[in-house]
C-alpha cells in the first residue's frame, strides 16, 4: 500500500483536492456573495470581467446537453475520463507528470459536481481585448485542466523517454 501512496502521488492527490476546493469556492463566491447570476457582468479590469455563463456542453461548448439523458451521459463520460486520469496518476512515478494529472483530475471533478448538481458548468472568467476574446469564458477547473494538459504534452515532447537506458 505504501508503494501506491508515494510522496509524489500524495502531492498529485493534494493538487487535485486543492483545485477541486478552489474551483467550488470561487464558483460559490461569484454566485452567492457577488450575485453574478443576477448581475451578469462585473467589470474588473479593462481586459478582464466576471461574466456569468452556463456551459451545457463540454470542451469549447461542444456536445451540448439538450436533455436530461445527455446531461448524465456527459457526467458519465467526464467521470470515466477522471477515473482514467486518477488511475494514470496512481501508476505514474515522475512528479512533473503527476502534477499535470493532478490539475486535470481536480478540474474534472469540479466540473462533474456542477454538471451533476446543476445540469451545467458555471463559467465566469472573461479575458478580452476590447470585443476580441482569445478564450471562451472559463472557470478555475477549466484553467487547471488546460494547464495540466499543456504540462503533460510539453513533458511528452520535451522530456526524453522515461525508461530510456543511460549510456
Q: What is the pLDDT of residues 63-94, one digit of tens each?
A: 677 788 888 988 998 999 999 999 999 999 99
Q: Which three cell numbers stand for residue 41?
A: 457582468
Query: What mean pLDDT is reported for the chain?
Result: 88
Over pLDDT 70: what percentage of the chain?
89
Catalytic machinery residues: 123, 142
Cell 486535470 locates to: 104
Q: How far is CA 20 from CA 27, 66, 119, in A?
A: 11, 26, 18
pTM score, whole prediction: 0.87
Mean pLDDT to the nearest integer, 112-138: 90
Check residue 132 and give its pLDDT: 83
Amino acid at each position: 500500500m505504501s508503494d501506491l501512496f508515494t510522496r509524489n502521488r500524495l502531492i498529485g492527490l493534494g493538487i487535485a483536492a486543492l483545485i477541486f476546493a478552489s474551483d467550488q469556492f470561487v464558483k460559490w463566491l461569484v454566485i452567492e456573495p457577488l450575485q453574478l447570476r443576477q448581475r451578469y457582468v462585473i467589470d474588473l479590469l479593462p481586459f478582464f470581467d466576471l461574466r456569468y455563463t452556463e456551459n451545457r456542453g463540454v470542451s469549447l461548448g461542444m456536445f451540448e446537453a439538450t436533455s436530461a439523458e445527455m446531461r448524465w451521459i456527459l457526467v458519465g463520460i467526464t467521470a470515466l475520463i477522471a477515473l482514467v486520469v486518477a488511475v494514470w496518476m496512481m501508476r505514474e512515478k515522475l512528479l512533473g507528470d503527476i502534477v499535470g494529472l493532478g490539475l486535470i483530475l481536480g478540474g474534472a471533478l469540479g466540473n462533474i459536481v456542477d454538471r451533476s448538481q446543476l445540469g451545467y458548468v458555471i463559467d465566469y472568467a472573461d479575458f478580452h481585448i476590447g470585443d476580441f476574446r482569445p478564450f471562451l469564458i472559463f472557470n478555475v477547473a477549466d484553467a487547471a485542466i488546460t494547464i495540466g494538459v499543456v504540462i503533460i504534452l510539453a513533458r511528452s515532447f520535451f522530456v526524453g523517454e522515461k525508461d530510456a537506458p543511460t549510456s
